[in-house]
Amino acid sequence: MATGRRKTSRTKEKETTFQERVIQIRRVSKVVKGGKKLSFRAIVAVGNERGQVGIGVGKAGDVIGAVKKGVADGKKHLIEVPLTKSNSIPHPIDGTGGGAKVMMRPAAPGTGVIAGGAV
């Protein structure tokens, strides 16, 4: 017999201030016995503008589902980026990944972001 208790969700979704930016959406295909199966892959950057950032990849049959999965994956893989009082990075950073080279330098106070679309 029921005890009269209601089931409540223990994982209440709290209000988050994360911003999402889609970096890339690509249509991918898989060859199966019946032909080609199309799906979409989305690479998404997630951050809260206070030093937490994550990159996520999602795949689904439609674009919206791939972006949602990418956002969820990005929130799982958050890293902490140290910021100064003027919301800049504390020291210069150089990095490479494949054919891409990224150079980030701290900005003077009041400068703002000087970057391309991907940064």
Q: Are strands 52-60 and 19-32 parallel, antiparallel or unpaired?
A: unpaired
Is it the case that residue 102 has pLDDT exceeding 60? yes
What are the residue boundaries of the structural domains of the chain, listed by start?
A: 19-81, 84-119
CA 119 – CA 109 distance, rounded (Å)? 19
Mean pLDDT value across residues 21-46 = 94
Is it the case that residue 111 has pLDDT exceeding 70? yes
Mean pLDDT value across residues 8-25 = 73
Is it the case that residue 119 has pLDDT exceeding 80? no
What average pLDDT does the chain have?
A: 85
Q: Are strands 52-60 and 78-80 parallel, antiparallel or unpaired?
A: antiparallel
DSSP 3-state assignment of 38? strand
Q: What is the pLDDT of residues 63-88, one digit of tens each?
A: 999 999 999 999 999 999 888 887 88
Residue-level pLDDT at 84: 84
Mean pLDDT value across residues 26-36 = 94
CA 42 – CA 17 distance, rounded (Å)? 21
CATH 3.40.50.20 assigned to domain 19-81? The reply is: no
Mean pLDDT value across residues 24-31 = 95
Q: What are phi and psi of 70, to 5 degrees?
A: -65, -40
C-alpha of 97 from chain center: 17
